[in-house]
Chain A
Amino acid sequence: MEISLSKATEGKFKVSKINGGENLLKKLSSLGIYEGTEAEKILSYHHGPVVIKVLNSQVAIGRGMAEKIIVKKL
């Protein structure tokens, strides 16, 4: 099932789509987040940012941005 990163439950996921322009794609890709990345959602703040673990480091992603990242739970 595909769901936005902001709504996904904690645990491992795979990025299936990023709904954003070139700038967003580049920004996310700098930290290793692109279509096909496997990562783990660690926690999220209610209506706030999401924290994921990708490439062995923790990354905080603002709510708006997390909504644009569509993931598939693994």
Chain B
Amino acid sequence: MKIILVGNPNVGKSVVFSYLTGYTAISSNYPGTTVDILKGKANLCGYDCEVVDVPGCYNLEGENIAEKVAGEIIKEKNYDFIFNVVDANNIERNLLLTLQLIKIGKPMILLLTKTDIAKNKGIEINYKMLEEISGIKVFPVVATAGIGFDHLEKEIKEIFEKSEIANPKFEIPQDDIEKWKIIGEITSKVQKITHKHPSFLEKIELITTTPITAIPFALIVIATSFGIIRFIGESLINYILDPLFNSYYMPLIEKLASHFQDGLFKQIIFSANIAPLEGFSVLTTGLYVPFVVVLPYVFSFYIVLSLLEDIGYLPRLAVILDRVSHKIGLHGYGSIPLIMGLGCKVPGIFSLRILESKREKMIAASLMFLISPCMPQTAMIFSILSKYPLIYTIIVLLYIFFVGIIASFFLNKVIKGEANDLFMEIPSYHKPVFKNLIFKLKIRTREFLLDAIPFVIGGIFLINLLDIFSVLNFISKFFGPIFSKVFSLPVETSTIVMLGFLKKDVAITLLTPFNLSLKDLMVSCFFLVAYMPCLASIFVLFRELGKKITFYVLGFNLLVAMIFTFLFSLILEIFI
């Protein structure tokens, strides 16, 4: 029995899905798109079922990518049953999709979710009457607590055996507006709302959307989020992963390497320098970068992101940031990858999937790399400039931000097109469900492991080959004069900078032995942040957006970095 779960966004579909499949789903990419589909197995009353979580949509004829995918899956009719998930808090809006689904002509049932919240809000639904009018079996549930599913279990056998196609008591018109009229009539019959005083969560909703209080609140949320991300990420690296790698894994590899004779083969596998982050060995740096450097931040990032998502805060953030985002050619939702990029660029690049157009993806990707250093880099900039007054660190960070803004104005003007308008539902706040959070974290981390890590390891292997055949050396030599003449930095720093993209924050600390002056430090910090994204993000970008866009983004970045490093150097010359 193949079941598809269909419903509007934010109706609690994923909670129903997790409940039915017992948290064992696998996410896979829908062919030809960036939309991920979850699939899982469920056992309902002896029936082995395959359950597919169709992306949330309001309309089968929708225009955005997720809605198109949903429409395609539903119209293909390559399934036996539709479970239509409907939010009891606004059945009126949900019923448009339900009517469209009835017209598809496949057997279906209706799962009415969040009935507990609806009850608290004073919404009463006569679901027996809804069943009668629509001709579909209705099951009220509270998916977060698993309530109501026993009822479904009891009756599902008969429902599956009959596999009846819904036979509503009314004609379903073709036109959506005509459908809305019928829906209005149905709703007035089955739903009764008694006015209740706004609950605590509803009051918070108002505070966090009304501009005057929402903006400071958003700043606090963002700052706290980064604090948590950094704390979890750093702790994982410093106390668990780095010690494990260095005390258990490295000795093994060193022993293994000692059995090989020097030569090209050994260089290809172990590189000229076996130490992690110093050479390009696939077995050391190739694993250290993705697992010790990137994974902890991606993981801590996803904890915070999933939490904010489940609570329902992200759409509010998008509304708050919409106006500013438009100035740089994005809409409110487009700024979310940018904010994520402040923590770690890798999940930031993954989140570019939520953007619709190539234009937006390109602008957001360039900006993400230019506008801000990632969390570990920021920390290093603070530490290397710590012997000078704080103001200099702030100047560097402000300059980076300033350059990002200038670059984005430029991109917005140059790339044809306009940002789409924001248009989305703002869901009510919800108490996050712990089990669901863990489940989401598992799926996302697995996605990162499968989609990003092979690219990073492969990339490091490739760079080792470039190193062996002296291509890297050539590039370093090529950039040396630029460093000394244009940025007036010592020539030796060029090597560090060139290797810096392996792990950019380390490259910043490697500057310490050169005893650079304050001005030189500031200039090199800026260049290191801006000139190129780190290795992991380059390869993830390549995977997500293809070689053409990656090439443009990298080229643009390098150009901007050179021009503005030169300017920075000039400006600092005058003032310091």
Interface residues of A (CB under 8 A from B): 23, 26-32, 34-36, 42-43, 45-49, 51, 54-65
User: Could you tell me the distance in whole angstroms from the C-beta of B185 to the nearest C-beta in chain A?
Assistant: 14
A30 touches B424 (CB 8 A): no
Size of the B side of the interface (Cβ < 8 Å), in residues, is 33
Which listed residue (B93, B319, B424) contacts A32, Cβ 8 A? B93
The secondary-structure label for the interface of chain A is: mixed
Whether A32 touches B425, Cβ cut-off 8 Å, given contacts A26-B63, A46-B211, A51-B319, is no
Cβ of B320 < 8 Å from any Cβ of A? yes
A27 touches B176 (CB 8 A): no
B319 touches A63 (CB 8 A): no
A61 touches B421 (CB 8 A): yes
A58 touches B323 (CB 8 A): no
B332 touches A49 (CB 8 A): yes
Identify 17 new A-B residue pairs, CB closer than 8 A, beyond the known A30-B62, A43-B209, A45-B320: A27-B423, A28-B423, A30-B96, A32-B92, A32-B96, A34-B180, A35-B177, A48-B319, A48-B323, A49-B319, A49-B332, A56-B89, A56-B92, A57-B93, A60-B425, A61-B421, A64-B421
B331 touches A45 (CB 8 A): no
- In whole angstroms, what is the CA distance A16 to B324 when docked? 30
Which listed residue (A28, A56, A60) contacts B318, Cβ 8 A? A60
Q: Which residues of A sit under 8 angstroms from B422, Cβ to Cβ?
A: 49, 60-62, 65
The 5 closest A-B pairs by CB, nearest first: A62-B421, A48-B323, A62-B422, A30-B59, A30-B58
A29 touches B176 (CB 8 A): yes
Q: Which residues of A sit under 8 angstroms from B420, Cβ to Cβ?
A: 62
- In whole angstroms, what is the CA distance A63 to B180 when docked? 25
User: Could you tell me the distance in whole angstroms from the C-beta of A33 to the nearest C-beta in chain B?
Assistant: 10
Whether A31 touches B58, Cβ cut-off 8 Å, given contacts A51-B426, A58-B425, A59-B423, is yes
- In whole angstroms, what is the CA distance A26 to B96 when docked? 12
Q: Which residues of A sit under 8 angstroms from B235, Cβ to Cβ?
A: none
Q: Which residues of A sit under 8 angstroms from B61, Cβ to Cβ?
A: 26
Can you list 28 residue pairs at the A/B interface with Cβ under 8 Å?
Answer: A26-B59, A27-B62, A27-B63, A29-B59, A29-B176, A30-B58, A30-B59, A30-B176, A31-B423, A32-B93, A32-B180, A43-B209, A48-B323, A49-B323, A49-B422, A57-B427, A58-B426, A59-B423, A60-B322, A60-B332, A60-B423, A60-B424, A60-B426, A61-B422, A62-B421, A63-B421, A64-B421, A65-B423
Interface string of B202-216 (1 = CB under 8 A from A): 000000011100000
Which listed residue (A31, A48, A65) contacts B425, Cβ 8 A? A31
User: Could you tell me the distance in whole angstroms from the C-beta of A74 to the nearest C-beta in chain B?
Assistant: 17
Q: Which residues of B sit under 8 angstroms from A26, Cβ to Cβ?
A: 59, 61, 63, 176
Q: Which residues of B sit under 8 angstroms from A64, Cβ to Cβ?
A: 421
Q: Which residues of A sit under 8 angstroms from B89, Cβ to Cβ?
A: 56-57
Cβ of B135 < 8 Å from any Cβ of A? no
A56 touches B90 (CB 8 A): yes
Q: Which residues of B sit under 8 angstroms from A28, Cβ to Cβ?
A: 423
Cβ of B315 < 8 Å from any Cβ of A? yes
B315 touches A55 (CB 8 A): no
- Considering the complex, which residues of chain B in the window 49-82 have a beta carbon less than 8 Å from any beta carbon of chain A? 58-59, 61-63
Which listed residue (B62, B319, B424) contacts A45, Cβ 8 A? B319
User: Could you tell me the distance in whole angstroms from the C-beta of A40 to the nearest C-beta in chain B?
Assistant: 13
Interface string of B458-476 (1 = CB under 8 A from A): 0000000000000000000
- In whole angstroms, what is the CA distance A56 to B323 when docked? 25
Q: Which residues of A sit under 8 angstroms from B423, Cβ to Cβ?
A: 27-28, 31, 59-62, 65
- Considering the complex, which residues of chain B in the window 421-451 have a beta carbon less than 8 Å from any beta carbon of chain A? 421-427
User: Could you tell me the distance in whole angstroms from the C-beta of B317 to the nearest C-beta in chain A?
Assistant: 11
- In whole angstroms, what is the CA distance A45 to B322 when docked? 9
- In whole angstroms, what is the CA distance A61 to B159 when docked? 41
Q: Which residues of A sit under 8 angstroms from B176, Cβ to Cβ?
A: 26, 29-30, 34
B180 touches A29 (CB 8 A): yes
User: Could you tell me the distance in whole angstroms from the C-beta of A54 to the nearest C-beta in chain B?
Assistant: 8
Whether A56 touches B63, Cβ cut-off 8 Å, given contacts A43-B211, A48-B323, is no
Q: Which residues of A sit under 8 angstroms from B92, Cβ to Cβ?
A: 32, 55-56
Interface string of B276-314 (1 = CB under 8 A from A): 000000000000000000000000000000000000000
User: Could you tell me the distance in whole angstroms from the C-beta of A59 to the nearest C-beta in chain B?
Assistant: 5
Q: Which residues of A sit under 8 angstroms from B331, Cβ to Cβ?
A: 62
Q: Which residues of B sit under 8 angstroms from A36, Cβ to Cβ?
A: 177
- In whole angstroms, what is the CA distance A27 to B425 when docked? 12
Pick the most buried of A42, A43, A56: most chain B CB atoms within 10 A of its CB: A56
B322 touches A57 (CB 8 A): no
Q: Which residues of A sit under 8 angstroms from B211, Cβ to Cβ?
A: 43, 45-46
A62 touches B180 (CB 8 A): no
- In whole angstroms, what is the CA distance A45 to B96 when docked? 30
- In whole angstroms, what is the CA distance A60 to B320 when docked? 10
Which listed residue (A31, A35, A61) contacts B93, Cβ 8 A? A31
User: Could you tell me the distance in whole angstroms from the C-beta of B473 to the nearest C-beta in chain A?
Assistant: 51
Minimum CB distance partner of B426 in chain A: A58
Whether A59 touches B58, Cβ cut-off 8 Å, given contacts A23-B63, A45-B319, A47-B323, is no
- In whole angstroms, what is the CA distance A24 to B177 when docked? 14
- In whole angstroms, what is the CA distance A32 to B546 when docked? 38
Q: Which residues of B sit under 8 angstroms from A48, Cβ to Cβ?
A: 319, 322-323
Q: Which residues of B sit under 8 angstroms from A35, Cβ to Cβ?
A: 177
